[in-house]
Amino acid sequence: MSRAAQFYIDGQWTDPVSPAWFDLIDPATESTIDRLALGNAADVDRAVAAARKAFAAYSATSVQERIDLLRRIVRVYERRYDEFAEAMRIEMGAPIAFARKAQAARGPAHLNALIGVLENFEFEEQRGTTRVRLEPVGVCGLITPWNWPINQIVVKIVPALAAGCTMVLKPSEYSSLSALLFAEVAHEAGVPPGVLNVVNGDGPGVGAAIASHPDIDMVSFTGSTRAGILVAQMAAETVKRVAQELGGKSANILLDDVNLDDAVTRGVAACFTNSGQSCSIPTRMLVPRHMMNDAAQIAKAAALGYVVGATDSETTHLGPLVNRNQFERVQVLIQKGIDEGARLVTGGTGRPDGLSKGYYVKPTIFADVTPGMTIAREEIFGPVLSIMGYDTEDEAIRIANGTDYGLAAYVQSADIERARTIGRQLRAGGVHLNYPAPDFNAPFGGCKRSGNGREWGEAGLREYLEIKAMVGYGHD
């Protein structure tokens, strides 16, 4: 049964006050799959009231009770695992193999990581005669994007639950089906009424109401830098805490001692993750200038190996972009790269051969990209890699840091100490050395216009906690 016409408020599925309707489109076929009810400020008021009412009791629960709750959520989620993968396949175009292996897998990965953190986390400590307590920040407004739907929902909901907070979630209207499915899981797992509330809507109708609501104590937002600025401005009126994970334009520095075939091929794979729709992927590949032509040919061969096509095929590597607007924006940026003089190695504008429908983009490689070009500065959010040359390590560092963004950076070297030395000089919230496996306990977030605050693991939990100093408490 589709929940798209309802919201989850105060432990019940409920009709919106006065809904607008939004067609949910399968980006692979451009066909309508459902109609989503969009809420407004009145629905947010109902959800916030439920969260505020639930806060006193839920914030007083024991750590063990919260651990048990998270374990129940994991069990229910894993039973419905394939439903999550299918939801993300049809709502945002993730190929089914990637939806199962990566998109849906992020749910249990982050849940289990937070359970491990919570089992060993100290909410109180004695400092002389002062008792320092970490207490839940209160009612949280959570606004999540469409590109990693469950990942972004879980890295906000789970630490909020672990901290003892209550919340109102607004998922992206483009990826609401997986969010509604998560609400069903939370309900079955026994999340108390009012602790988690889900209101679908767009940014102006629901996002703005959350950001500005006087009874919301904190807003956690993931999305574009442009929207993040608006959220921060609206939140400032009520002096609420704001945590933001915004855009990125991550550099991938290949030092001159790498195995070029391996480093470039893996760099293309990292850039093309999720069809290029990830804020932290390495979209600028920096190579020693004398290696440019070889790197370009290796990247071309790698790109030509990607199968672009139907999302229900197990052999598809790259699915469509999420919607028409995103598709058209990427087409414009690819054309900008051509017009501004970057060398188009493979790909380009238009759909891949044989695909007449769907928001599919050709896997695209540019070489000889210079720092002033639009494709070197703007976040593209599609399967487009820009290869840039450098002459010295200092120049590579300057190019890597020469962006408004600071979410992630990557360094590849046969000498790990060289990679570490470069990594220390990069202004980014996360630096990845030699294509490491994901670490779900590593703090995730950025600096500069990539946002503030951190998610994942213990750092993510701390975002939802307020510090209280009980001075004169005395000694234990």
Determine the distance from the C-alpha atom of residue 22 to the mean position of all C-alpha atoms in its chain, rounded to a whole number: 23
**Is 245 one of the catalytic residues?**
yes
User: What DSSP string describes 155-191?
Assistant: HHHHHHHHHT-EEEEE--TTSHHHHHHHHHHHHHHTP
pTM above 0.95, yes or no: yes
Catalytic residue from among 86, 91, 173, 245: 245
- Say whether 271 is catalytic: no
Percentage with pLDDT > 70 across the chain: 100
Query: What is the per-residue pLDDT for 158?
Result: 98
Whole-angstrom distance, CA of residue 247 vs CA of residue 143: 15
Per-residue pLDDT at 2:
75
pLDDT value at residue 216: 98
Mean pLDDT over 205-211 rounds to 98
- In the set 279, 379, 458, 463, the catalytic residue is 279
pLDDT tens per residue, range 322-362:
999 999 999 999 999 999 999 999 999 999 999 999 999 99
- Region of 78 (left: φ > 0; alpha: ψ -120 to 50; beta: rest) is alpha
345 membership: H or E segment, kind and range? strand 343-346
pLDDT of residue 365: 98
Amino acid found at 409 = A
Task: Provide mean pLDDT across the span 61-82.
Answer: 98
With 80 as the cut, is the pLDDT of residue 476 above it? no
Going along the chain from its start, the domains and CATH numbers come out as 7-246+450-470 (3.40.605.10), 250-441 (3.40.309.10)
Percent residues over pLDDT 90 in the chain: 99
